[in-house]
Amino acid sequence: MTTRQGATDRAIGGGADGAAQAAERPSGHRALMTVMCACVILVFGMISAINMAVPKLSASALQPSSTEMLWVVDAYAIVFACLLIPAGAIGDRRGRKGTLMVGLGLFAAGCLLSAAAPNITILLLARAVTGAGAAFVLPNTLSLLLGVLADERKPVAIATWTAMSGLGGIIGNAISGLVLQFLPWQGLFLTVVPIALLLLLLTAKVSPRTATQDSPLDPGGSVLLAAAFVGLLYGVIEAPERGWTSVPVMVALLAAVVLFAVFVRYELRHPHPLMDPRVFAEPRLRAGALGIMMSFVAVFALFYVNAQYLQYAKGFSPLLAGLGVLPLSLGTFTTSRNSLKLTHRFGSTPVVTVGLLGTAGGLVLLALATPQTPYWLYVVYLLVFAVSTGMAVPPLSIGIISSLPASRSGLGSGINSSTRELGSAIGVAVIGTILSFQLSGHLPQSVLAKGDSVRHSTASALAAAEQVGPTEHAQVIRAFTDAMDNGFLVIAGAVLVTSVLVVMWYRKKPATAEATADATTDDSEAPAPAPAQD
C-alpha cells in the first residue's frame, strides 16, 4: 500500500478498517457521489442564478446602485473565496462530514435571510452568510469523495466533480429563469432553502465520518488571507464610482498587496500553517491555480453580462434568458466529462493549451455580439467558449489535487475551489467595472440629463430612455453591448497572457517522487496503457 493510499484509508470513518468497508459498498459510493455532486450543483447554481436576477433586482424597491449591485452579486463569491481554504483545513482537522453539514445549514439560513431582506445592507449580509455556508460545503464534498475511492478512480471523480460546476450553471440559470418568470426576486432565494435542508439530511445519512487531525487551526492566517481578498476586490468594485486614484480605492489595493505579503511571511513561520506557501513550489499546483482562476474570471464575467444581454439587447423574458444560456453550460459539462479521454489520447499539456487558447478565442468571438447578432450565431460563440473551458479545467484541477498528499486533500480542495471563487469574484468585478465606466461615456445626453443614477446602471438608463424615445432606447442598448464587448476583449487578453505561464509551469515534471507517482494518473481514466507524453 502506498503512503498516500494509507493516508486516504486512515481518513475514512471507522478508523483503519473504514476504507476496506467502504470499498465493499459500491452502492454507498454511488449514493455519496450523487449527494456530493448535488451539493456542488447547489453552490455553483446560486452563483449563476443571481446573475439572472440582476434586471429584477436593479428595478426593485431596494433601488441598488450599479456598485451596490456588484456587491450583491459578489458578496457571495468574495466570502466563498475567502473562506474556502480555511473551511477545507477545518474539514481536515475537525471532520469533513460535520463541516459540510454546518455549511449546508448556513447556506439555507443565508438564503432565508436574503428573501426577507428589507434593504441592501441586510441583503449584502445575507449573501455573505450564504457564501460562508458555500465555503464550508464545497471543499469537503471533494475531500469526502477522495477519502473513499481507490487511487485509480480518483481522476474520474475529480473530472466528474469539476463537470458539476458546469451543470450547476445549467440548473442555476434554468431554475432561476423559471422562478423569476413568475415570482419576484425573493422567490429565487426561497426556492433554494428546502433544497439545502434536504441535502443536509441526505449528507447526514450517506456520508462517512472522517478521522480528525491533532494539529490546531490557524485563525491568524485565515484572517489575513480573507482581509487581503476583500481589499483587492473592494478596490476593483469601488473604482468606477470613486475613481482609481481615489484614496479609498488606492488604500484598499495597497492594503491587499501588503496583507498578501504579511500572510506569506506569517505562514512560513507558523508551525501549523493554514496554507504553507511552499506548496506553490510544485509547478503543476501553481499552473492549476492560475489556470483555473483565469478560466473562472472568464466564465463568470460572461455569466454576469449574459443574462443582461439576452434580456436587454435581445428582448428575452427571464425564462427564455435562463434557457438561452443552456448551450454554454451544456458545452462545458459535456467536455468536462470527456476531458480525461482527451488527455489520455493527446496528453494533458496539449489539452490544457488548446483549452486556454480556445477560452481566449471564445471571448474574442463573443466581443463581436451586437443587438442585431442572431441568437444562433451567439450560440456558436458560446459553444466555442464552453468547449474550451470544459477542456482545460479538469486536468488543471487534477494537477492541484495530485500535488498534495491525501491527508491534506481538504487543503487541495480548498486551493482548487478558492481559485475558482476568487476568479468568479474578480471576473464579475472586472466586467462590472468596465461596463459601468464605459456605459456612462456612451449614453445620449437626453438620457444623462435624467440624473446621476443612469450613468452606471443599465436598468436605470433604459428606464430613463423609455421616457425620452425609441431612438435613445436603442442607443442605450448599443452602449451596453459596446461596453460588454470591450470587457470581453480585456479579459481575453488577460487569459491569453497568463496562459503562457500556465503552460510553462504545467509542462514541468513534479518536484517530488510522490507527486510524480500521482501525476501518472493525471492523464488516465483508469488503469490503461500510458497516455501520450506531454
Kindly tell me if the per-residue pLDDT of 512 is higher than 80.
no
Q: Is 507 inside a domain boundary?
A: yes
Weakest mean pLDDT among 200-214, 362-376, 490-504, 519-533: 519-533
Cα torsion angle, 252, 256, 262, 266, sign: positive
The alpha carbon of 108 is separated from its chain's Cα centroid by a whole number of angstroms, namely 19
The range of the structural domain enclosing residue 252 comes to 218-273
Q: Say whether both 256 and 324 belong to one domain.
A: no
In which residue are the cell numbers 486516504 written? 8
Q: Say whether both 257 and 307 belong to one domain.
A: no
Q: Work out the percent of the chain whose per-residue pLDDT is above 70.
A: 80
Domain boundary among 248, 273, 298: 273
Nine cell digits for residue 137: 460545503
Report the distance separating Cα 104 and Cα 96, nearest Å: 12
Q: Say whether both 88 and 178 belong to one domain.
A: yes
Nine cell digits for residue 514: 510522490
DSSP structure string for 338-386 = HHHHHHHHH-HHHHHHHHHHHHHHHHHHHTT--TTS-HHHHHHHHHHHH
φ, ψ dihedrals at 218, nearest 5°: -125, 75
Q: Is 359 inside a domain boundary?
A: yes
Domain boundary among 231, 256, 273: 273
The upper half-sphere exposure of residue 34, i.e. CA atoms within 13 Å in the direction of its Cβ, equals: 9
Residue 520: per-residue pLDDT: 33
Query: At 17, which CATH number?
Result: 1.20.1250.20
Q: Say whether both 180 and 83 belong to one domain.
A: yes
Q: Is 525 inside a domain boundary?
A: no
Q: Say whether both 377 and 486 belong to one domain.
A: yes
pLDDT band at 468 (very low <50, low <70, confident <90, very high): low
Residue 55: per-residue pLDDT: 79
Report the distance separating Cα 359 and Cα 84, nearest Å: 25
pLDDT band at 492 (very low <50, low <70, confident <90, very high): very high
Residue 410: per-residue pLDDT: 59
Q: What angle do CA 370, 373, 378 make, to 5 degrees?
A: 105
Nine cell digits for residue 312: 436587454
C-beta atoms surrounding 509 within 10 Å: 11
For residue range 116-147, list pLDDT tens digits in order.
988 888 999 999 999 999 988 888 888 787 77
Into how many domains does the chain fold? 2
Q: What is the largest CA-CA distance in the chain?
A: 75
Kindly tell me if the per-residue pLDDT of 98 is higher than 90.
no
Q: Is 527 inside a domain boundary?
A: no
- Asked if residues 515 and 405 have their Cβ atoms less than 8 Å apart, the reply is no
Average of per-residue pLDDT values in the chain: 77
Looking at residue 62, its amino acid is: L
Q: Say whether both 509 and 411 belong to one domain.
A: yes
Angle between helices 375-401 and 348-366 (to 10 degrees): 150
Pick the more confident residue, 154 or 387: 387
For residue range 168-201, list pLDDT tens digits in order.
777 787 788 888 888 888 888 999 999 999 999 9
- Asked if residues 209 and 216 have their Cβ atoms less than 8 Å apart, the reply is no
- State the DSSP H helix or E strand holding residue 293, giving kind and residue range, or none if neither: helix 283-308
For residue range 415-437, list pLDDT tens digits in order.
777 787 778 778 877 887 788 77
For residue range 245-289, list pLDDT tens digits in order.
888 888 988 999 999 899 889 888 887 777 777 878 788 888 888
Label each residue of 19-65 as H, E or C: HHHHHCCHHHHHHHHHHHHHHHHHHHHHHHHHHHCHHHHHCCCCCCC
Best-predicted range by mean pLDDT among 75-79, 258-262, 319-323?
A: 258-262
Residue 210: per-residue pLDDT: 63
Q: Is 524 inside a domain boundary?
A: no
Weakest mean pLDDT among 171-175, 301-305, 353-357: 171-175
Q: Is 532 inside a domain boundary?
A: no
Report the distance separating Cα 353 and Cα 239, nearest Å: 33
Angle between helices 120-148 and 154-182 (to 10 degrees): 150
Q: Say whether both 250 and 287 belong to one domain.
A: no
Q: Say whether both 58 and 106 belong to one domain.
A: yes
Q: Say whether both 417 and 436 belong to one domain.
A: yes
Residue 63: per-residue pLDDT: 77
Q: Say whether both 210 and 227 belong to one domain.
A: no
Q: Say whether both 383 and 307 belong to one domain.
A: yes
Determine the length of the chain: 534
Nine cell digits for residue 282: 510544485
Weakest mean pLDDT among 51-65, 183-197, 431-445: 431-445
Looking at residue 2, its amino acid is: T
DSSP structure string for 192-237 = HHHHHHHHHHHHHHHPPPB---SSPP-HHHHHHHHHHHHHHHHHHH
pLDDT band at 532 (very low <50, low <70, confident <90, very high): very low
Q: Say whether both 188 and 297 belong to one domain.
A: yes
Kindly tell me if the per-residue pLDDT of 69 is higher than 50.
yes
Q: Is 241 inside a domain boundary?
A: yes
For residue range 18-31, list pLDDT tens digits in order.
433 443 455 567 78
Cα torsion angle, 378, 383, 384, 389, sign: positive
Weakest mean pLDDT among 193-197, 224-228, 371-375, 410-414: 410-414
